[in-house]
Amino acid sequence: MAKVKTKFYCTECGYETAKWYGKCPGCSSWNTMVEETQTVVKTQGMQSPIFHTKEKPQSIIHIESGKEPRVQTNIGELNRVLGGGFVPGSLILVGGDPGIGKSTLLLQTSHALTVAGLKVLYVSGEESVRQTRLRADRLNALSESLFVLCETNLEQIEEAIEEIQPDFLVIDSIQTVYQPSVASAPGSVSQVRECTTHFMRIAKVKGIATVLVGHVTKEGAIAGPRLLEHMVDCVLYFEGERHHTYRLLRAVKNRFGSTNEIGIFEMQETGLVEVTNPSELFLSERPMGVAGSSVVASVEGTRPVLVELQALVASTNFPSPRRMSTGVDHQRMSLIIAVLEKRMGMFLQNQDAYLNVAGGVKLDEPAVDLAIAVSIASSFRDAPTQPYDVFFGEIGLTGEVRAVSRVEQRVKEAQKLGFKRVIMPEKSMKGWKAPKGIEIIGVNTVAEALTAALG
């Protein structure tokens, strides 16, 4: 009989040890060690010819260079996030909250690839083939070259791959697949690591673009060991609020493209529809002439996006005022409030401050600092900003407004949507020519910006 062993794995880095530790010796994380029983049984599944490839080392000079071939879909937002389309042989991990639309997006993508003449295998470990057919009927994603398999056994999935020889493979989800030679339960650290390694070898050897769907924890991170994200070529997060109809596809890691790109979709009855003009969408319900509201020109990847920032400053009865922010880093907001208190003389120590990015978008670039300061000052003074003003710029601790990148793209996006003035760092005005029909106001300090915006 095979010997049963008990091992402990770190869910963050995959460190393996024979006994439990409160602090992981590998990554120094606390309370991340989980216990698993493992029984290693030799099967013929691992003796697959896929794993017997004889390649000899060769000089890097003699290796052919060139761009990776791309397989584009008719979904432009997905192509943007991936860096131009799918790369054959790449391994992609897609994560997101339950019910956010991961399976819908991948089924639409599979149908789009079959329209382009490719053969697709969609493996579902959570739904039956009838459930997948019902979704395909709703999405109008029926094709002769789209094959659906309801299976969780890795060896059975490998047999189906050998039989069909697909060009594109979807595993929904990796937490449901198990390797029979590993005695751990599906979804455990051992199973996820072993199955991901197996699919990585299949993708690289056979040149199949493979997408793995991953569950997320309540903190929003992809479940399983952190090693999972290191093994794949691309990590995509599918984000969005349940009460909003649009979704954001964000690239966190991408070996074949930029990691700052986002794709925006709107959930409708017929599936996900790409949003080609996100700025117009985010500003569609913006109120005019209201204190605390401002528009910032942010850049996500290569795309400029205009988003509304809303701030509310109100007096508090508690000794410690509240500082709450949604869509913007909480620490960054506190820093800007401190600058307004010290450099502008605003007494905010007895005021609660709330900041929200309208639409549920997350902004993490420093260029949104100036819009945050204008929104907070506007609400504190109860003085509305001009409805056709746009702000961007980084704020330093001494109250200066620092230069930012991609200024021309931000200004052109503001002009396209009908804005009349742009308040921005004066140091960013060099090296380019402002378009006609829009006024550019350069500022060096926060005081100059507030004077131009609020009078």
For residue 104, the Cα-to-chain-centroid distance in whole angstroms is 17
Question: In whole angstroms, what is the distance from residue 24 CA to residue 20 CA?
Answer: 9
For residue 432, report the phi and psi dihedrals to the nearest 5 degrees.
-150, 165
Tokens of 278: 């996100």
At position 391, the amino acid (one-letter code) is F
- The 10 Å CB-count burial string (b at 16+, else e) for 217-228 is eeeeebbbbbbb
In total, the chain counts a number of residues equal to: 455
- The 10 Å CB-count burial string (b at 16+, else e) for 10-32 is bbbbbbbeeeeeeebeeeeeeeb
If one counts every other C-beta atom within 10 angstroms of the C-beta of residue 397, the result is: 10
Q: Please check whether residue 202 is in contact with residue 161, taking contact to mean a CB–CB distance below 8 angstroms.
A: yes
| Long-range Cβ pairs for the range 150-154 (8 Å, 24+) | 150/123, 150/124, 150/125, 151/123, 151/125, 152/125, 152/176, 152/177, 152/178, 152/186, 153/177, 153/178, 153/180, 154/45, 154/178, 154/179, 154/180, 154/195, 154/198
Q: Is 102 labeled as ligand-binding?
A: yes
> Strands of 4-10's sheet, edge to edge?
16-17, 4-10, 33-39
Q: Is 103 labeled as ligand-binding?
A: yes
Alpha helices in 128-187 (DSSP H): 129-139, 154-164
Q: Please check whether residue 15 is in contact with residue 9, taking contact to mean a CB–CB distance below 8 angstroms.
A: yes
Q: Is 101 labeled as ligand-binding?
A: yes
Tokens of 182: 């590993």
Binding residues: 96-103
Binding residues for ATP: 96-103
